[in-house]
Amino acid sequence: MTPTFEEAIIVNSSHRLAKLYTPAKKAYETPSNGITINIPAAAAVIQDCAFVTVQYLPHFIFGMYGNPFGELHGKITIDQIKDFVARSTAVPATLQLLRIILAKGAAYEAAKPIIADGTPQNPYGDYENITQQQVHDNVYILSKLFGVV
């Protein structure tokens, strides 16, 4: 099975915390795996902590790359990008990572802001206002940044 965009960020990192991703996925699926839980509520805490790790570790690891676009150049596929951008319309953590990457990409390219629809970002806005044109543009922008096209 092909890794997701986020998993590609994690797998290609040498940062020691990138190794948390796989155990966190396992802990989210089975919080009591390998341990004895004496208080049932502890399982929920373990599962929630693992969920946050799985959702936000890619953000952290992406930020730890010195030159993420150079280091991940050619290691991301167009299918991973399309899937990632499509999921960003429904998953807030994925949209947050997309916005981080687009912002870092804009700085990397030293160009005008690359927000697809030309409107300023509103950190308090809702996530439902993503148009089909934005999805297409974001796929193209990411493809250029990671050397897919």
| Extents of the domains making up the chain | 5-67, 69-145
Residue 20 has pLDDT above 90, yes or no: yes
52 three-class SS: helix
pLDDT (0 to 100) of residue 107: 85
Biggest CA-to-CA distance, the chain: 55
Distance between CA atoms of 50 and 43, rounded to whole angstroms? 11
Distance between CA atoms of 110 and 113, rounded to whole angstroms? 9
Q: Which residue has the higher pLDDT, 114 or 13?
A: 13
| Total residues found in the chain within this entry | 149
**Per-residue model confidence as pLDDT tens digits over 22-62:** 999 999 999 888 888 889 899 999 999 999 999 999 999 99
Residue position matching structure tokens 């096209």: 149
Q: Average of pLDDT values for 57-79? A: 96
**Per-residue model confidence as pLDDT tens digits over 77-111:** 999 999 999 999 999 999 999 999 999 998 887 53
pLDDT (0 to 100) of residue 1: 77
pLDDT (0 to 100) of residue 106: 86
Report the chain's mean pLDDT, rounded to a whole number. 86
Distance between CA atoms of 11 and 86, rounded to whole angstroms? 21
pLDDT (0 to 100) of residue 114: 43
Amino acid at 111: A
Distance between CA atoms of 103 and 66, rounded to whole angstroms? 15
